[in-house]
Every structure is written in C-alpha cells, then in structure tokens.
C-alpha cells in the first residue's frame, strides 16, 4: 500500500494543494538542476579544470562510483514536503527554533550580511527573492527543509522554514523499516542473524540506487526519504554530490539522476533527426554548453523497482536473495535547458550502448 494518497483518493481541496505542490516542484526542479549541474560546470570552467563527466557504466543499477570528491561540484541536500512535518518527528529530523530561517539565525550562520535589508517574505516559494535565499543556503551543512506553512494566510503557501537540518535516524532503522514493509522481516532487523541483517542494509542502498559504501548527504537523503514515508504525503528529496557529479532526486515515483553528458556534433544531428527537429532547434533548446566539435546536454536516468523491491502480492514473508536486482533502468532522456517551456524530454538509450 502506498504511503501517500493518489489523486483519486483526495478531496477537492487536497487535489488543489497537490496540483499547487507539483507546480512548485516543477519550478524547484529547474533551479536544482541549474545549481547542481550548470553552476558546477561553471565552477570547473572558472578554475580551468576539465569537467569530470559521468561515465555510462556509473548509471547502471548497482554500479560502483569512483570515490573521488570534486571541490568544484556543488553539494547540498534539500527536502520539499507537501504537508507540514509534525513536531513529534524532531527526534530524528532536527528542526528547531534555533535553525529557523529568521534574520538572527541566518546572521549567526553567516548566511546573511548585516548590510543587507532583510526581507521576511523571501523564504516563501512565491517570493520574487526566494531563489536568491535558496542559493545562499544550499551550501550549508546538513539539509534545507521546505514545507507547507500552516500559519500563513494563504492556505497552501510553502516556505523554506529551516536550514542546517540534521537527519539523525540510524541507517539500520531505515533499512529495517524498508525490509519490514517489503516483507523480508516480520519485526527486527537481526531476527534472521547478522549476515541477513547485513544483506538487508546493502539492499537498502540498492533500493535508492546508491553504492553501499557512500556517506554524507547521499546517505542522509535516502534515510530521510525512507523516514518521510511515515508522514502521509508526498516528499521530494534533492541531493547534490561531489562524488557522483549528479543531481539525485527521490520522490513518490522513485529515484532519478540528472547529470551532464557530452555528445559529438554528429550524435546531436542524429538525435535531432530522430525527433523530427532541426539541429539548430536542438542545440538552442537542449545544449547547455557548446564546444568546437561537441555539445553538453542534461541527461536524466530514471529507475524502476523490480518485483523484489515491491510488496509481494500475497503479503507473505519471504527470503531476501542478494543476487537479484531490485532496480532496473526505467527511462533515459535528454531534458531541455532550464527555462525552456515548449520542448519535452527526448528518449535516448545510452546506458547500455
């Protein structure tokens, strides 16, 4: 059973809120792509460092990613909730008065200049200055929390309510929660022994398309994604990683990765022809940076769950089998540049070529 209600199960009021949330999320996606990918690319250019493009093999489920941190790659973690997080969750999601987005707190973390006039409304997603604040806060350690503001006069107003939000739920608890929901255990992570518990924790990382030995923001992202299933609403988690050079997006639909990919001029001509558009139109709307004999585009890989990562139809307990894949590549697309409205993602199979 889904942890969130599909549209057909919502009241008219909640359907309106869902539509508004998805509209805001679409816009937030654009800004996250720009900060995670395009701004990072500019960082490399400004320091005259060759950009470390992601290799195709790194996009396969269960792939191992080189453990190299790239300082020029923007890293961050942001959580966007459809609803408001109840206060009883503060034990594991650390949001308090001390890390609210107030002037005093922002000054303490040196995220605001004393010379700047403070705009109290800039934390709201419908503010003209919201994305300026977002860009200043994304580099802060831990996570940003964006959620519905119940105190606002506008019923469905969303704000960046907290920053420097730690995710303190243990990985073992998150893995146990997932395994229980998928019927691989009945109660406890260690009920079938240490080896079985270790396999479950490895599969927890695979479920979210990460290597088992990663740390930092990516681990916090998947732990947060699992934890927020306790709250009956949609939550979207964005993670930028200096190792993966990708924007990881986890939502009710699963996991996707967005990254920069280089194509030769001949390849771009073929893609344009296959999608019934001119090369000029393709380059104008999909190429984020041009080089002499190539162009750089935004590529998105989306992942689908196999039956082993879904609730069994009969609801009975089952044994975990480590060798079986929990994910498959569900979609591969070149997406339009941020700000382009009329051009849809273009399907392109590259991962297994």
pLDDT at 83: 94
Q: Are 257 and 247 in contact (CB under 8 A)?
A: yes
What averages of pLDDT result for each successive group of 10 residues across the chain (353 residues)?
Answer: 79 92 96 97 96 93 83 96 95 95 87 69 92 92 93 80 96 97 95 96 96 87 96 96 94 96 96 96 96 95 97 94 96 96 96 89
Residue 235, in any domain of the structure: yes
CA–CA distances in Å: residue 88 to residues 9, 91, 93? 26, 7, 9
Q: Which of 239, 247, 248, 241 is nearest to 79 (CA)?
A: 239
In a domain, 307, yes or no: no
Whether 216 maps to a domain, the answer reads: yes
Alpha-carbon gap, residue 7 to 267, rounded angstroms: 40
Identify whether 318 is part of a domain: no
Are the C-beta atoms of 332 and 348 separated by less than 8 Å?
Answer: yes
Cα 278 to Cα 343: distance, rounded to the nearest angstrom: 13
Structure tokens at 338: 């941020």
- Evaluate whether 303 touches 61 at the Cβ level (below 8 Å): yes
The whole domain housing 135 covers 12-257
Q: Count of CB atoms within 10 A of residue 67's CB?
A: 10
Output the six-digit token pair for 332: 């591969």
* Pick from 348, 345, 344, 351: nearest CA to 328: 351
Residue 347 confidence (pLDDT): 97
Q: What is d(CA 84, CA 203) in angstroms, rounded to the nearest whole number?
A: 30
What is the pLDDT at residue 27?
96
Tell me if 161 is assigned to some domain: yes
Is residue 17 in some structural domain? yes
- Backbone φ and ψ for 18, nearest 5 degrees, come out as -60, -45
**Would you say residue 268 lies in a domain?**
no
- Give the three-class secondary structure for 131: helix
**What is the pLDDT at residue 1?**
46
335 domain residue, yes or no? no
User: For residue 136, what are the contacts with CB-CB under 8 A and spacing of at least 6?
Assistant: 111, 112
Three-class SS string for the chain?
A: CCCCCCHHHCCHHHHHHHHHHHHHHHHHHHHHHHHHHHHHHHHHHHCCCCCCCCCHHHHCCCCCCCCCCCCCCCCEEEEEECCCCCHHHHHCEECCHHHECCHHHHHHCCCCCCCCCCCHHHHECCCCCHHHHHHHHCCCCCEEEEEECCCCCCCCCEEEEEEEEEECCCHHHHHHHHHHHCCCCCCCCCCCCHHHHHHHHHHHHHHCCCCCCCCHHHHHHHHHHHHHHHCCCCEEEEEECCCCCCEEEEECCEEEEEEEEEEEHHHHHHHHHHCCCCHHHHHHHHEEEECCCEEEEEEEEEEEECHHHCCCCCCCCCCCCCCCCCEEEEEEEEECCCCCCCCCCEECCCCCC
Q: 0.85 exceeded by the pTM?
A: yes
Q: Identify the DSSP state of 77.
A: E
Total domains present in the chain? 1
């Amino acid at each position: 059973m889904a942890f969130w209600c599909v549209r057909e199960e919502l009241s008219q009021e909640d359907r309106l809120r869902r539509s508004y949330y998805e509209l805001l999320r679409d816009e937030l996606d654009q800004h996250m792509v720009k900060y995670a990918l395009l701004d990072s690319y500019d960082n490399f250019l400004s320091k005259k460092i060759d950009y470390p493009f992601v290799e195709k093999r790194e996009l396969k489920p269960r792939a191992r990613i080189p453990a190299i941190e790239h300082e020029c790659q923007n890293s961050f973690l942001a959580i966007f909730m459809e609803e408001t997080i109840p206060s009883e969750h503060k034990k594991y999601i650390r949001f308090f008065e001390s890390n609210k987005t107030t002037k005093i707190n922002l000054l303490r973390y040196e995220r605001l200049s004393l010379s700047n006039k403070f705009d109290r409304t800039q934390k709201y997603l419908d503010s003209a200055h919201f994305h300026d604040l977002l860009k200043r806060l994304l580099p802060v350690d831990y996570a940003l929390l964006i959620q519905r503001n119940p105190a606002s006069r506008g019923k469905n107003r969303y704000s960046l309510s907290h920053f420097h939000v730690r995710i303190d739920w243990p990985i073992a608890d998150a893995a146990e929660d997932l395994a229980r929901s998928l019927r691989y255990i009945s109660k406890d992570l260690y009920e079938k022994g240490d080896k079985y518990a270790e396999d479950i924790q490895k599969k927890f990382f695979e479920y979210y398309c990460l290597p088992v030995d990663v740390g930092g923001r990516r681990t916090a992202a998947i732990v947060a994604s699992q934890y927020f299933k306790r709250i009956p609403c949609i939550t979207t988690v964005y993670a930028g990683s200096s190792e993966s050079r990708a924007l990881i997006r986890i939502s009710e639909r699963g996991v996707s990765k967005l990254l920069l990919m280089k194509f030769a001029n001949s390849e771009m001509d073929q893609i344009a022809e296959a999608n019934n558009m001119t090369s000029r139109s393709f380059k104008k709307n999909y190429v984020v940076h041009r080089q002499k004999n190539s162009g750089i585009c935004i590529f998105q890989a989306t992942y689908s769950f196999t039956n082993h990562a879904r609730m069994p139809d009969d609801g009975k307990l089952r044994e975990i089998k480590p060798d079986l894949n929990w994910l498959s590549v569900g979609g591969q697309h070149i997406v339009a540049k941020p700000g382009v409205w009329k051009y849809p993602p273009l399907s392109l199979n590259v991962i297994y070529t």
